[in-house]
Copies of this chain bind each other. A is one copy, B any other.
Amino acid sequence: MMNEVWLIGRLTKDPEEKKTPNGKTVARMTLAVDRDYTNTDGERETDFIEIIAWEKLAENCIKHLGKGRLVSVKGRLQIRTYDDSQGTRRKAAEVVAEKVKFLDKAKENA
């Protein structure tokens, strides 16, 4: 099937580094993506979209990205299902990054 996502937005915080049991690097990021249009209250809403990157891409993100950075992400939308602590079935959506482009320069001393 086809499943393609393309986003441009800003990181809400530094990438969070994780390791899988077998040692693969995972980076978790949240991207703030402003909507084009304002809502009925005249406010511009923002989608906060979870991004996950794996291995070398994850390492590059962790090394070079930080809070506030503007990036483009190409990836696919993944829906995970899991049971929470109360045993209720929950769903989590995240974009699995296949390509991340750093669009502004890192700020010095920031």
Nearest B residue to A45 via CB reads: B78
Q: How far is the CB of A49 from chain B (nearest CB, A)?
A: 6
Contact A49 B77 (CB under 8 A): yes
Question: How many residues belonging to A are interface residues under a CB distance threshold of 8 Å?
Answer: 31
B5-A72 in contact (CB<8A): no
> In the complex, which of the residues B9, B49, B72, B103 contacts A104, with contact meaning CB atoms closer than 8 Å?
B103
Note all chain B residues with C-beta closer than 8 A to A2.
Answer: 6-8, 33, 72, 74, 99, 101
**Is chain A's binding surface mostly helix, strand, loop or mixed?**
strand
**In the complex the two chains form, is B9's CB within 8 Å of A47's CB?**
no
* Chain A residues proximal to chain B, CB less than 8 Å: 1-9, 33-36, 47-49, 70, 72, 74, 76-79, 91-93, 95, 99, 101, 103-104
Distance between Cα atoms of A92 and B93 in the complex (Å): 8
